[in-house]
Amino acid sequence: MTQKAPRTAIQPTRAQDYAEWYQQVVRAADLAENSAVRGCMVIKPWGYAIWENIERVLDRMFKETGHKNAYFPLFIPKSFLEKEAAHVEGFAKECAVVTHHRLVAGPNGGLIPDPKAELEEPLIVRPTSETIIGASFAQWVKSYRDLPLLINQWANVVRWELRTRLFLRTTEFLWQEGHTAHATETEAREETLKMLDVYSVFAEQYMAIPVIRGPKTASERFPGAVDTFAIEALMQDRKALQAGTSHFLGQKFAEASGIKFLDATGTQNFAWTTSWGVSTRLVGGLIMTHSDDDGLVLPPRIAPAHVVIWPVYRGDETKEAISVVIDEAARALRAASFEDRRLEVEVDRRDNSGGDKQWEWIKKGVPLRIEVGPRDLAAGTALVSRRDLGPAGKQAIPFAELAARVPELLAQMQSDMFARALAERDAHTHAIDDRAAFDAFFTPRNPNKPEIHGGLALSHWCGSANCESTLKDALKVTIRCIPSYGIAGAKAAARINEPGHCIVCGEPSTMRVVFAKSY
RNA sequence: CGGGGCGUAGCGCAGUUUGGUAGCGCGCUCGGUUCGGGUCCGAGAGGUCGGCAGUUCGAAUCUGCCCGCCCCGACCA
């Protein structure tokens, strides 16, 4: 037995090179990989199963709030996109455009778009679907009795990004986009906030990612929105991640698409619309919130498998006996539930060494690992390890109690993970009123090498776009959101509504906003 | 798209300056030995050295062009 070096399963560590660590975690956990298509990823089964769980839970929450799923075209006529001025401006530079509908043999071999098969009007691969869905809404809505119209779609979208990172920003990504139309402004605004609330409940209670809810500043708004609200999370490198957005679109898109209805008095009105979405980016947020230097750590409510169980044996005699026990344990566990889900149990019978399996499952982030060996067999117990605790956290649990104890351990792990992430965020959230301190907080010591520093600064802002861009230009720091609904965590919460003076110009300010570097 | 870095086996890399026909660790396969936080020994498989063109008797190595990836910037969920 060799004294193990302080070797981490993922190299480099977060502290050494955070960006590289992130990529290595994705690879080591077998979540996704780059594809032959630049900027587009292949989501592998373990990664896709995480997305499926996100989808499953959110879909249920959307249904519970009255929404129905539908599906709209991948292609958007160019003229549709042109209908809303701000919308065009926001998306025009990152659109994939389809111009032909046929290929023919080219002069130098290979295929070229057939010049005779050029589309009369180019089609845009949807970067978002407000305009194409708006066209349908315009047909569906005639009367106030048709409202509210509450629709969601699960889809892929394409935004031709210059720089991509697996899950965080890819050219094609998966998401859901909710689109609703309402008879009144009040109702549409309520819807916008209701869905923001759904997102924050989901992020915190399922993903165990603490988030700050609030409106965005004008410069951070969705192109064409009247108001954009977001949930913002702090990653372990202390950069913020916008994890979901909900937009109040006013009547802008209704006007652009002609969504009109007759109200009870017989007057023609434009509807009030909203849209809201979360994407596969959430998986990136999950990774960067919880994972450690040994790889992925998955919150039980979202993990593809709750438990992996494998035998540890010396000779063939015990092997047989242990195998029987493993089967029984797996059967008992699969009959049990963790909240609304049957326990998902992986049984690893490969004849690899125990150490190899151990590390493989650690890197994949399975919440609980269960080993059954000769000692356990004799004692009638199984050795259970929680992914978020070190080897010292292993505990022996009698076989008969496994099915009852495993859900308890999962519940505990789920809440511990959230508490840990919240404590981490609080530790890096500071009220800063002095410009020099603000600059120091956000200035990397070595600009050429990514470095963990900074965090969330709660500072005063006068409300001017000018002061906002001053900080963006100088420090690459932006206002992540205005924390209108408070921030969980006593220390930070207490100081939000203190009056003060703009960190840039010194004008009076009534509340603090959240500044950070971001993804 | 601008600045920087890098493309050699599945992963991580050496070899490139000083051209001579490809290597190391991990992983993988087989045999044995082990198995409770990465067991050890032996035998194997696996690479048109990112691509194309050039220089040369000979190119991973030199030259040109192209492609891709990563980091920083501009933009974004």
- The packing angle between helices A18-28 and A281-290, to 10°, is 110
Strands A307-311 vs A368-372: parallel, antiparallel or unpaired:
parallel
Is residue A357 one of the residues assigned to a domain?
A: yes
Q: Both A224 and A318 in a single domain?
A: no
* Within-domain flag for A11: no
Distance in Å from B57's C1' to A108's CA comes to: 35
Residue A509: partners with Cβ closer than 8 Å, 6 or more residues away? A460, A461, A462, A463, A499, A500, A501, A502
Q: Which nucleotide is nearest to A285 (CA to C1')?
A: B77
Q: Provide, in whole angstroms, the distance separating residue A393's CA from nucleotide B31's C1'.
A: 38
Enter the tokens of residue A408. 């308890």
Q: Give the CATH number, domain containing residue A474.
A: 3.30.110.30
Q: Which nucleotide across the nucleic acid strands is nearest to A22, CA versus C1'?
A: B70
> Are A113 and A212 in a shared domain?
yes
pLDDT at site A448: 55
User: Which of A322, A274, A340, A329 minimizes the C-alpha distance to A307?
Assistant: A329
- Domain-terminating residue out of A409, A425, A441: A425
What's residue A451's pLDDT?
Answer: 67
Q: Structural domain tally of chain A?
A: 3
Burial class from Cβ neighbours inside 10 Å (0-12, 13-18, 19+) for residue A119 reads middle
Contact A476, A516 (CB under 8 A): no
The CA-based angle A156-A210-A501, given to 5 degrees, is 110
Question: What's A336's domain CATH number?
Answer: 3.40.50.800
Q: Is residue A103 part of a domain?
A: yes
Q: Is residue A504 part of a domain?
A: yes
pLDDT of the residue at A450: 60
Q: Is residue A227 part of a domain?
A: yes
Listed residues A379, A409, A425: the one ending a domain: A425
ipTM surpassing 0.95? no
A398 plus A440 within the same structural domain = no
Residue at a domain's end among A245, A262, A290: A290
- pLDDT tens per residue across span A128-161: 999 999 999 999 999 999 999 999 999 999 998 8
**In this structure, are A147 and A169 located in the same domain?**
yes
Residues A245, A132, single domain; the answer is yes
Q: Could you tell me if residue A453 is inside a domain?
A: yes
Q: Is residue A476 domain-shared with residue A363, that is, in the same domain?
A: no
User: Do A276 and A418 share a domain, yes or no?
Assistant: no
Q: Residue A7: what pLDDT?
A: 75
**A5 inside domain:** no
Whole-number Å distance, CA A30 to C1' B46?
Answer: 22
Residues A143 and A244 in one domain: yes
Same domain flag for A377 and A449: no
List chain A residues with pLDDT less than 50. 1-5
- Determine the pLDDT at residue A490: 67
B44 C1' to A287 CA distance, Å:
38
Tens of pLDDT along A369-419? 999 998 899 999 999 999 999 888 899 999 999 999 999 999 999 999 999
Q: What is the nearest nucleotide to A385, using C1' and CA?
A: B37
Tokens representing A59 are: 């879909």
**Range A74-78, long-range pairs (CB < 8 A, 24+ positions):** A74/A125, A74/A126, A74/A155, A74/A156, A75/A123, A75/A124, A75/A125, A75/A126, A76/A123, A76/A124, A76/A125, A76/A126, A76/A129, A76/A131, A76/A132, A77/A121, A77/A123, A77/A124, A77/A132, A78/A121, A78/A122, A78/A123, A78/A124
Domain match, A341 and A472 both: no
Q: Which residue is nearest to nucleotide B72 (CA to C1')?
A: A448
Where on strand B do bases come within 7 A of a protein Cβ?
Answer: 1, 11, 27-28, 34-40, 68-77
A399, A494: one domain: no
Any domain includes A302: no
Same domain, yes or no: A384 and A258: no
**In which domain, by residue range, is A367 found?**
307-425
- Residue A446 pLDDT: 64
pLDDT value of position A299: 97
